Structure 1
Amino acid sequence: MTPPIAPRWVMRHPLWPLIALHVLLAVQVPVYTTLGMDGPPGNPVAATVAFVLILCLSLRHVLAVSRGERPAGWPWTLVALAILANVPLWWFGSNWQAFTAFALASIVMLLRGRLMVFAAIAQLLHNPVKEVIAMLRDGAPTVPQALLLGAYALFVIVLYAGTLVGGARLVRLLNELEAARTELAATAVGEERIRVSRDLHDLLGQSLSAISLKGDLALRLLAKDTAAARAEIDSLTGVARDALRDVRAITRDEHSVSLRTEIDGAAALLGAAGVDTRLDVADLPPLSGPARNALAWAIREGTTNLLRHSEARTCTITLTRHQGTVRLEIVNDGVQPPSASRFTGAADLTRTPPGTGLSGLAERTRAASGTWLTTAHDGLFLLSVEVPEAVA
């Protein structure tokens, strides 16, 4: 199992770490100002008010960016944030510099193009230049020391701002990841429902037709030939057991069909229904799994439709191979007049639920890189499926 990329609570509530990061970075300013870390102690009330204002403005920008948008009126809030972060810097010195990281982060996230580049460079250089000028004016450090301290101030603001911007983008990616996972889960559930619906339709269609047919035959034989009627009832029970086993296999996605078994089963079922069936499938080629399954399901679907939707007297099942492809043709003479017909080839596809009947046959054929066709002409109905012998 692949380990999670982050703790579960972070994946569920990614905004909380981002908000905590803002608070931890911003709280430096009122603490440093109150203690007088750089110069005499400042007014704690003013520093706290500025802390609240800047934190609210920055969070407004960051939370909107984490959703993939910019907040309403952002130019005005960006200007207000830049003023609060930069103007007091000339009085409070390095105690105030953490606020400039919030201004830089908002500039990078909200502005676009050259304007963003120029504004970001100006914000980057403001605090280091101010520090170097102040130190050289006081005459305390040497020029190399002043430049080193200025470079440190530049590094700190880049580090802080990069952390804020990266945090906002990380939250957005986590939200997109969660949305993608939800969509994939919904898609998987939908595909599984279609698969189960298709397999149940294709499987039970023939099985129920066989049960109905054998039951009717047993009733007709009951008064004439008790032994034959008993044999039909035994056969009916076997079909029901097989159908139950296949339904259980479908729910576990373990159901598979055999081409030879489907051909023999179709011939036996059609013969029991009084349909004169001719088979021309003696030379069965070795086929790939998808191709074999597509042809087997086509025989099952064609047989089911013949029994349920036609009054055919003859049926021909032909399997031929030509230049790397295998072609299955099922032809019967059970086409009914348009006014009475319930099944008219491809037109019936529009009335079939997605994933079932001819729609399911089309999906299986496409999965095997094949083609299918239904036509009705001169009282004959043709179902044709053609697939390559080897499917990648």
Structure 2
Amino acid sequence: MTPPITPRWVVRHPLWPLIALHVVLAGQVPVYTALGMDGPAGDPLAGTVAFVLALCLSLRHSLAATRGERPAGWPWTLAALVALANVPLWWFGSNWQAFTGFALASMVMLLRGRPLWLAAIAQLLHNPVKEVIGMLHDDAYTVAQALLLGSYSLFSLVLYAGTLVGGARLVRLLHELEATRTELAATAVGEERVRVSRDLHDLLGQSLSAISLKGDLALRLLAKDAAAARAEVESLTGVARDALRDVRAITRDEHSVSLRTEIDGAAALLGAAGVDTRLDVADVPPLSGAAQSALAWAIREGTTNLLRHSDARTCTITLTHRQGTVRLEIVNDGAHPAPAPAPTGAAGPSPAPSGTELSEAAGPSPTPPGTGLAGLAERARAASGTWLTTVRDGLFTLSVEVPEEVA
């Protein structure tokens, strides 16, 4: 794994590098003043007091900027910092110019619009123009030298202020990044919970229905045909083992379904439940993985709902292929008078013929995550398809339509 470019402690504690940057830049003033870098040495105590004041004022502005705020009373603290940076400059010269970078940075972080431009231009030109004029009155400098040194002073000011503003904005971005990572992690956990809930419902729903069905059948056969009852119990044990294997696959997100396997399994299960099942699934081309998965899950969910929630005696499963789309229809005669509301697929409901009662309510009515219809809707959308349930003349129809090739 490639090591991170930025040390982890910087990401966890981004304020410390920003504070250190302020201390280093502001520390130039008392050091230069005490050593007399530009002119005679000044009072170290005055330089130290100014250092503390400028550092506190600038940090107050910068730390608020890392939160996307302006501190209370900021016009007064900005005015104090500007005065502290510019007034002593006329006596201490370039020894004091580091503070002008703090003043310019605070202007950029606090002011908006025209006041920002006017104040920033005035601050940028103040010290360089003063130095150029002073050097032109000194015969020791030529005009070219004076302009070059003035440009250097201007460049240094822009560099200092840009570093401070960039540091504050970088800390803000790091805070936003950490908040986004936390939100994404929470979202991923939620999505995984929904996936596990959906897969458990879809997989175990049919398995548990089969176990219940075969158990009841074995009890009925026990007094009449012990051999047949034993066969049903053995079959029930196999279904239970398959269910256990499915649970393990769900926890690893490794479970896959086969359209042909689900069709055969649905026919066998419905037949065992005494439902007269007719299949019309011959005219289907090879399908992409997403399309096949969506249809296979639809068959499993439709079969489970039929066994659990209806008293159907007949069921027809039809697969048709036309113009690059595959349509699945599961029709049974166990419709209830008022089907439960459910959302339609991504493309919306198809127009219903007269006498048809759609399972979609008049307005949005999202199905709770983890239920069978919600899982069916998610899988249909993932395959760029649509789904619909209708009730007409005592027949309940579940239809799913997906493209033959899913992008």
Query: How would you bin the TM-score normalised by the shorter chain?
Result: over 0.9
Query: Aligned residue for 1:385?
Result: 400
SS of 2:224 mapped into structure 1: coil
SS of 1:318 mapped into structure 2: strand
Tell me if the contact between 2:258 and 2:293 (Cα under 8 Å) persists in the aligned partners: yes
**Cα displacement string for residues 84-108 of structure 1 (whole angstroms, at most 9, x for unaligned residues):** 0000000111110100010111112
Query: Aligned residue for 2:57?
Result: 57
SS of 1:278 mapped into structure 2: strand
SS of 1:283 mapped into structure 2: coil
SS of 1:254 mapped into structure 2: coil
Q: Distance in 2 between matches of 1:175 and 1:168?
A: 11
Structure 1 letter corresponding to 2:282 = A
The alpha-carbon deviation at position 169 of structure 1 amounts to 1.3
Query: Aligned residue for 1:364?
Result: 379
Which stretch shows the higher mean deviation, 341-350 or 172-181?
Answer: 341-350
Structure 2 letter corresponding to 1:102 = F
Structure 2 letter corresponding to 1:166 = G
The alpha-carbon deviation at position 73 of structure 1 amounts to 2.1
Query: Aligned residue for 2:349?
Result: none
Query: Aligned residue for 1:173?
Result: 173
Q: Distance in 1 between matches of 2:316 and 2:265?
A: 14
Which stretch shows the higher mean deviation, 295-304 or 342-351?
Answer: 342-351
Structure 1 letter corresponding to 2:56 = C
Query: Aligned residue for 2:335?
Result: 335
Question: 1:20-99 residue pairs with structure 2 within 5 A?
Answer: 20-99=20-99
**Cα displacement string for residues 113-156 of structure 1 (whole angstroms, at most 9, x for unaligned residues):** 23222221211111111112222334332322222221221121
For the pair 1:241 / 2:241, whether they are aligned, the reply is yes
Q: Distance in 2 between matches of 1:139 and 1:55?
A: 37
SS of 1:359 mapped into structure 2: helix
The alpha-carbon deviation at position 37 of structure 1 amounts to 1.9
Q: Distance in 2 between matches of 1:351 and 1:64?
A: 42
Query: Aligned residue for 1:108?
Result: 108
TM normalised by structure 1 equals: 0.95
The alpha-carbon deviation at position 41 of structure 1 amounts to 2.0
Query: Aligned residue for 1:346?
Result: 359
Which stretch shows the higher mean deviation, 14-23 or 26-35?
Answer: 26-35
Q: Distance in 2 between matches of 1:145 and 1:311?
A: 99
> Can you give the 5+ residue segments of structure 1 that lack an aligned partner in the other structure?
none
SS of 2:284 mapped into structure 1: coil
Tell me if the contact between 1:266 and 1:303 (Cα under 8 Å) persists in the aligned partners: yes
Query: Aligned residue for 2:391?
Result: 376
Q: Distance in 2 between matches of 1:295 and 1:208?
A: 21
Q: Distance in 2 between matches of 1:155 and 1:337?
A: 81
Task: Let me know the Cα RMSD of the aligned residues.
Answer: 1.9
Which stretch shows the higher mean deviation, 78-87 or 174-183?
Answer: 174-183
Q: Distance in 2 between matches of 1:387 and 1:343?
A: 22
**Cα displacement string for residues 23-44 of structure 1 (whole angstroms, at most 9, x for unaligned residues):** 0100111111122222222222
The alpha-carbon deviation at position 177 of structure 1 amounts to 1.4
Query: Aligned residue for 1:120?
Result: 120
Query: Aligned residue for 1:265?
Result: 265
Q: Distance in 2 between matches of 1:377 and 1:133?
A: 94
Query: Aligned residue for 1:4?
Result: 4
Judging by fraction of residues, say which structure has more helix: 1
Structure 2 letter corresponding to 1:357 = G
Would the alpha carbon gap of residues 336 and 143 (structure 1) be closer, same or farther in structure 2, given more than 3 Å must change?
closer
Structure 2 letter corresponding to 1:51 = F
Between the aligned residues of both structures, percent identity stands at 84
Query: Aligned residue for 2:348?
Result: none
Q: Distance in 1 between matches of 2:10 and 2:306?
A: 58
SS of 2:153 mapped into structure 1: helix
How many residue pairs get aligned? The number is 390
Tell me if the contact between 1:309 and 1:343 (Cα under 8 Å) persists in the aligned partners: no
Query: Aligned residue for 1:325?
Result: 325
Query: Aligned residue for 1:142?
Result: 142
Tell me if the contact between 1:280 and 1:319 (Cα under 8 Å) persists in the aligned partners: yes
> Can you give the 5+ residue segments of structure 2 that lack an aligned partner in the other structure?
343-357
Question: 1:273-292 residue pairs with structure 2 within 5 A?
Answer: 273-292=273-292
